[in-house]
Amino acid sequence: MSEASKGNALVTGAGRGIGRAIALALAEGGFDLVVNDLARSAELDETVAMIRDKGREAVAVRADIADIDGHAAFLDAAWNAFGGLHCLVNNAGISVAKRDDILTVTPESFDRLMNVNLRGPFFLTQAVAQRMLEAPQDRFRSIITVSSINVGFVAVDRAEYCISKTGLAMMSRLYAVRLASAGINCYEVQPGVIRTDMTAVVRERYDRLFESGVAPIARWGETDDVGNAVAMLASGALPYTTGETLRVDGGLAIRRL
Distance of alpha carbon 134 from alpha carbon 124, whole angstroms: 16
Among 129, 229, 140, 133, smallest CA distance to 175 is for: 129
Find out whether 14 and 37 touch, Cβ atoms under 8 Å.
yes
Q: Which domain holds residue 51?
A: 7-245
- Catalytic site positions: 161
Does 250 reside within a domain? no
Does 182 reside within a domain? yes
Hey, how many other C-beta atoms are within 10 angstroms of the C-beta on 257? 2
Q: For residue 226, give the CATH number of its domain.
A: 3.40.50.720
Say what the pLDDT of residue 221 is. Answer: 95
Does 219 reside within a domain? yes
The DSSP element (H or E) to which 111 belongs, if any, is: helix 107-114
Number of domains in the chain: 1
Does 253 reside within a domain? no
pLDDT digits (tens, 9 = 90+) for 27-83: 999 999 999 999 887 899 999 999 999 999 999 999 999 999 999 999 999 999 999
Does 46 reside within a domain? yes
Does 256 reside within a domain? no
Residue 55, classed as helix, strand or coil, is coil
Q: Specify the pTM.
A: 0.95
Does 65 reside within a domain? yes
Q: Give the mean model confidence (pLDDT) for residues 171-191.
A: 98
